[in-house]
């Protein structure tokens, strides 16, 4: 009897958690829908929100309680959607839901409807999420091009310049000039390449995404040379910033586009750091062989 009562208490605790999760996600989806202007995406998100509300109301018939949503989760994911895009916010939330402390199959032993809710959570919502079409993700290839080229080229250039010039402000100036010129070149190349495929509007947007990703990366990589006077310390900080950019970007893409994180992160990191190391050696060779002393 005691064991049965303990098991029932455990099930009720999971039901309370399920109800809180569902009503919280209803409010998150509703808030995100208000941020979305494109009607197709808005409708998909509202459909998911209504499904979450229906699930929450079902659990309420069991608990007989009006459980309040998690206000922090609502604020957090609404903020993420506003600044990082609704697809990333939704998929990040759903990934966290996979780890939620709710075992629907266990609840189904007492409440058969829980099995249907579990199926809807796994299948129907995933089908709806796959219908989302966010513009910035359609240009992810252009962003990758700009970001990756900036990381590889500029970390290499800064490493070579660091030993060849050994003056942080001078290195920063040359780095910015090189970076801006390269970003304009990359943007123009992306425009011409995409336009050749017959889509002028897409070509313009692709070039803007590529150029913007490049120039933002350049500014972040050059920043340590304005902060520190020691060129070697500035270079080490730049490399750390580069790895951090790679980490954050690949984490974003792995969530938003359901791509593997580890392989892509290691590939970009080794490529950037490898070229930086090679460029540093080239800088040493040039300084020694040419006797440059600036």
The domains of the chain, with CATH numbers, are: 2-133 (1.20.1260), 136-290 (no CATH)
Q: How many CB atoms lie within 10 A of CB 203?
A: 19
d(CA 176, CA 197): 32
Q: Cα separation of 87 and 32, whole Å?
A: 10
3-state helix, strand, coil in the chain (%, to 5): 85, 0, 15
| Six token digits for residue 279 | 């460029």
Q: Quick one: pLDDT at residue 199?
A: 67
- Global pTM reads 0.74
CA distance 151 to 153: 6
Of 1-5, 98-102, 145-149, the range with the highest mean pLDDT is: 145-149
Who wins on pLDDT, 102 or 182? 182
pLDDT value for 74 = 94
Residue 1 has pLDDT above 50, yes or no: no
Alpha helices in 85-195 (DSSP H): 86-98, 104-108, 113-119, 125-129, 135-138, 140-165, 168-195
For the segment 73-102, the average pLDDT, to the nearest whole number, is: 81
Q: What is the pLDDT of residue 53?
A: 93
Whole-number mean pLDDT of the chain?
Answer: 81
Q: Looking at residues 72-76, what average pLDDT do you find?
A: 94
How many CA atoms lie within 13 Å of 7's alpha carbon, on the beta-carbon side?
8
Range 216-221 contact pairs with CB under 8 angstroms and sequence separation of 24 or more: 217/146, 217/147, 217/150, 217/151, 217/154, 217/245, 218/150, 218/154, 218/175, 218/176, 218/179, 218/180, 218/182, 218/183, 219/176, 219/179, 220/245, 221/150, 221/151, 221/154, 221/155, 221/158, 221/175, 221/179
Question: Helix or strand or coil: residue 195?
Answer: helix
- Residue 83's pLDDT is what? 85
Average pLDDT for 206-223: 86
Residue 207: is its pLDDT beyond 70?
yes
DSSP state letter for 120? I
Q: Residues 240-273: pLDDT tens digits? A: 998 898 898 888 888 877 778 888 888 888 877 7
Most confident of 32-41, 93-102, 186-195: 32-41
Cα–Cα distance for residue pair 173/218, rounded to 1 Å: 12
């Amino acid at each position: 009897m005691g064991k049965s009562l303990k098991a029932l208490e455990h099930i009720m605790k999971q039901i309370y958690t399920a109800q809180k999760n569902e009503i919280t996600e209803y409010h998150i989806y509703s808030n995100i829908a208000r941020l979305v202007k494109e009607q197709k995406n808005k409708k998909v998100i509202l459909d998911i929100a209504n499904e979450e509300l229906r699930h929450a109301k079902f659990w309420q018939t069991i608990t007989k309680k009006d459980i309040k949503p998690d206000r922090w989760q609502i604020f957090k994911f609404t903020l993420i959607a506003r600044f990082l895009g609704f697809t990333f916010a939704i998929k990040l939330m759903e990934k966290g839901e996979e780890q939620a402390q709710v075992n629907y199959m266990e609840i189904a032993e007492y409440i058969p409807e829980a099995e249907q809710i579990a199926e809807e959570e796994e299948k129907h919502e995933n089908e709806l999420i796959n219908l989302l079409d966010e513009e910035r993700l359609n240009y992810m290839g252009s962003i990758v091009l700009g970001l990756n080229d900036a990381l590889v080229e500029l970390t290499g250039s800064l490493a070579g310049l660091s030993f060849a010039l050994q003056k942080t402000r001078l290195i920063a100036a040359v780095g910015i000039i090189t970076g801006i010129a390269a970003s304009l070149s990359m943007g123009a190349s992306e425009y011409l390449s995409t336009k050749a495929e017959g889509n002028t509007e897409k070509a313009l947007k692709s070039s803007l995404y590529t150029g913007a990703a490049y120039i933002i990366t350049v500014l972040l990589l050059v920043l340590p040379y304005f902060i520190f006077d020691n060129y070697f310390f500035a270079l080490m900080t730049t490399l750390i910033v580069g790895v951090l950019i790679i980490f954050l970007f690949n984490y974003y893409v792995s969530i938003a586009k359901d791509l593997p994180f580890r392989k892509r992160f290691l590939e970009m990191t080794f490529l950037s750091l490898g070229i930086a190391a090679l460029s540093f050696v080239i800088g040493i060779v040039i300084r020694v062989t040419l006797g440059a002393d600036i």
